[in-house]
Amino acid sequence: MNISPKSQAFVLHFGEMGSRWGFNRTVGQMFALLTIHPEPLNADQLAEALTISRGNVSMGLKELQAWRLVERQHIPGDRKEYFTTSGDIWDLARVVFEERRKRELDPTLTLLRSQLLEAPQDKQEAYAQEKMQEIYELLEQMNAFANSLNNLPPQQLKVLMSLGAGITKLLDFKNPLKKSDDKKNGEE
């Protein structure tokens, strides 16, 4: 299977980014190829296109299925299993967010809750608990905000995102850092 240079550059880059997003380079490349390929691909096609072993493909497909990012398809008259991404780009983004929250945010919140249950034994522990409480509250607020965004339909999310920095103007938020920089420079 031949991949165009542009597609190959995307697949390679996505593999590098995948390692930063919670899965290995090969899994990232497989996901990228399945995302941009118009038809479902089987394991042999993935192995050939990415020049990786069939065993590596099998393990990668299992991981992508565990992340709920790909689904298996059968083509009538063909005994091989084919794979494609599970939904559109917005669906995939939601799944990645949910999986990362389960794997990263939820355990952190659980640990913080358990650490905050017991009374501090000394000043140092009281200070540490105060900081842990601040972190806990920040993460809970971020989680609640992300959940509310996650419940919006894609079209509303697109509108919200297109507002960008304009939302701060709409809400009349002032940038305190900008004002302090202006004062330092003698502006107002």
At residue 149, the pLDDT reads 86
pLDDT at 96: 87
Residue 185's pLDDT is what?
60
Residue 33 confidence (pLDDT): 97
In the prediction, which pLDDT does 23 show?
84
Look at residue 38 in the predicted model and tell me its pLDDT: 93
What whole-number distance in Å separates Cα of residue 119 and Cα of residue 125?
9
Residue 180 has what pLDDT?
Answer: 54
Q: What is the pLDDT of residue 99?
A: 87
Tell me which H or E stretch contains 54: helix 54-66
Low pLDDT (below 50) residues in the chain: none
pLDDT value at position 86? 92
Spatial neighbors of 46 by CB under 8 A, at least 6 apart, are: 30, 33, 34, 52, 57, 60, 61, 83
- Give residue 15's pLDDT: 93
Per-residue confidence (pLDDT) for residue 176, from 0 to 100: 62
